[in-house]
């Protein structure tokens, strides 16, 4: 799951993101509000999951997305 998420973020942010590397919205200039929606939608599609609407604003880092995926058993 970590590797797949890292690959997705690498593609969407046009940079290499390692499986054990954390990246977040604050430190990544390309991760703006529009890109955030694209990231969330892509993760939902690729992992066949639907995040609760109230969770989406807080999924602003790779580690937070990983935790939410782990909570879902992925």
Dump pLDDT digits (tens) for 12-67: 999 999 999 999 999 999 999 999 999 999 999 999 999 999 999 999 999 999 99
CB 61 within 8 A of CB 25: yes
CB 29 within 8 A of CB 36: no
Q: Considering only CA atoms, give the Rg of the chain.
A: 11
Q: Which pLDDT does position 69 carry in this prediction?
A: 97
Q: Which pLDDT does position 20 carry in this prediction?
A: 95
As its CATH architecture, domain 2-71 has: Orthogonal Bundle (1.10)
In whole angstroms, give the CA distance from residue 13 to residue 16: 8
pTM: 0.93
Q: Which pLDDT does position 51 carry in this prediction?
A: 96
Q: Which pLDDT does position 50 carry in this prediction?
A: 96
Q: Which pLDDT does position 6 carry in this prediction?
A: 97
């Amino acid at each position: 799951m970590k590797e797949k998420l890292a690959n997705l973020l690498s593609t969407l942010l046009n940079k290499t993101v390692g499986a054990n590397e954390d990246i977040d919205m604050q430190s990544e200039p390309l991760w703006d509000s529009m890109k955030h929606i694209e990231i969330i939608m892509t993760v939902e599609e690729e992992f066949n999951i639907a995040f609760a609407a109230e969770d989406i604003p807080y999924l602003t880092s790779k580690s937070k997305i990983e935790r939410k995926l782990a909570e879902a058993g992925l």
